[in-house]
Amino acid sequence: MIELAKRAKALKPSPTLALAAKAKELAGQGKDVVSLTVGEPDWDTFARVKQAAISAIERGQTKYAPSNGIPELRAELAKQTSSQLGVTYDPTEVVVTAGGKMIVFAVLQVLCDEGDEVIVPAPFWVSYPPMAELAGATPVIVSCGRESRFKMTAEQLEKAITAKTKILILNSPSNPTGEMYSREELTHLAKVLERHPRVMVLSDDIYNRLTLDGSELAPHLLHVAPQLRERVIVVNGASKTYSMTGWRLGWALGDRTVISAMSNYLSQSVSCASPFTQSAMVVALKEGDSDVTQAVTNLRQRSETAYAALRAIEGLDVPKPSGAFYLWPSVEKHLGKKYRGQLIKGSKEFAEQLLNHELVAVVPGVEFGAEGYLRMSFVVSEERWKEAMTRLARFISELTT
Ligand code: PMP
Ligand code: GLU
């Protein structure tokens, strides 16, 4: 009999990816599913970026690349991130690999020892706790409620820090809530961090240009506390801003000690991100600003329409997001009700019944560490969003006490 390692036995697939796959499978069977599951832009990768990858392949850039990324890309990332965050990074303080997910994974791997604690404010992106566990650390989940717009307060941070705390994960704008920390909130968190010099910060900035409130960039911890530069690992990637989820490109910037350790780790595992995607990324960074601006303008418009339509449904409480492309309605009021005789115990049952009976796929809040909510990705056509809203409204109208 095959005996798997304990860490493999305990591991479940990413629920966002699993639900997206289930929706695709149902669609493959000819069912008219509206999938609001995966966090993936629905607009195409920008034409100039696709063209750049094709030319790179034609030029023969199809072999191994350096494990920490090609020099031109690291140089451009250092330049742009330095200007965005107001602190200076050298190209040797940048590491690129196959996806932001692998970057987060590698940060945790090189910083955590067995027994260390990783503070994860909830609601959180689904992969943070399992990744902390895979690094031998203990995720310390701090529940952040509606009253603080799902953001961690300085008091909560202070309370959560122990002698074992190694990393605080910050993700702003947040997946799943779309909430963004303000400069003031970040200043309060920074003050706490100043008192605890052992604590590092993983700043997952993957949505930081996808702002919905009109700002150009989400406020950043380093904007208000540049003195923390040595302790902050900045994480970002191509997936969301450039609609390049399938290209698998992510990067981190930070102190050379951590970045070198990550490069070593990646050279013994992933090897490298493919060179032609990296070459295309250089073009995206150097020439893609107008494309990004256009995409963000469209995203803002869509967020307004999507938000208005969801809010119009009776019995839902919908916080307005300020970034990313998710809506995070509360369905708390409906928990404990029944749908065609079936008890809706929690968000999981809500999502299951909604998929089974109305063919609308959403991710239950419980997967993000917050019961009573649903995550709905609104990057679908206006027509499909409308259809989903009609079905959701019908579903809710049929709930009985
Ligand atoms: N961080 C967050 C918060 C995300 O939502 C995602 C989306 N998958 C990632 C990191 C990683 O994205 P990717 O691996 O596609 O770069
Ligand atoms: N981060 C995206 C999401 O939350 C992609 C799926 C994943 O990587 O889990 O939907």
| Residue 261 reports pLDDT greater than 90 | yes
| Residue 55 reports pLDDT greater than 90 | yes
263 CB burial (10 A radius; 0-12, 13-18, 19+): buried
- Ligand 2 centre to CA of 195 (Å) is 33
Q: 51 and 39 share a domain? A: no
Cβ atoms within 10 Å, residue 7: 11
Q: Write the residue with the smallest CA distance to atom 1 of ligand 2.
A: 39
Residue 338's DSSP bridge partners are 343, 400
Determine contact, residues 137/110, Cβ cutoff 8 Å: no
Would 178 be classed as within a structural domain? yes
Which of 19, 36, 38 best tests ligand 2's pocket when mutated (most atoms within 8 Å of CB)? 38
In this structure, the chain runs to a length of 401
- Segments forming the whole domain that contains residue 117: 47-287
Q: 363 and 229 share a domain? A: no
**DSSP three-state, residue 334:** helix
State if pTM tops 0.95. yes
Structure tokens at 394: 């019908």
Measured CA to CA, the distance from residue 91 to residue 199 in angstroms comes to 25
Mean pLDDT throughout 31-43?
Answer: 94
Note the pLDDT of residue 314: 87
Cβ 16 under 6 angstroms from ligand 2:
yes
- pLDDT confidence bin for 315, thresholds 50/70/90: confident
Q: 192 and 129 share a domain? A: yes
Cβ 14 under 6 angstroms from ligand 2:
yes
Would 377 be classed as within a structural domain? yes
| pLDDT tens string 354-383 | 999 999 999 999 999 999 999 999 999 999
Q: 250 and 309 share a domain? A: no
Cβ 176 under 6 angstroms from ligand 2:
no
- pLDDT confidence bin for 18, thresholds 50/70/90: confident
Q: 177 and 210 share a domain? A: yes
Would 239 be classed as within a structural domain? yes
**234, 252, 287 — which closes off a domain?**
287
**251, 267, 287 — which closes off a domain?**
287
Q: Which ligand is nearest to the Cα of residue 236, counting in written order?
A: 1
Mean pLDDT throughout 53-62?
Answer: 98
What values do phi and psi take at 327, rounded to 5?
Answer: -115, 150
Cβ 248 under 6 angstroms from ligand 2:
no
Q: 107 and 29 share a domain? A: no
Position in ligand 1 atom list of the atom nearest CA 171: 3
Structure tokens at 396: 């809710």
Q: Write the residue with the smallest CA distance to atom 13 of ligand 1.
A: 100
- Ligand 1 centre to CA of 187 (Å) is 25
User: What's the one-letter identity of residue 280?
Assistant: A
- Ligand 1 centre to CA of 163 (Å) is 29
Would 1 be classed as within a structural domain? no
Residue 63 CA, chain-centre distance (Å), reads 30
Note the pLDDT of residue 215: 96
Buried b / exposed e over 212-241, threshold 16 CB at 10 Å, is: beeeeebbbbbbbbeebbebbbbbbbbbbb
Residue 253's DSSP bridge partners are 94, 234
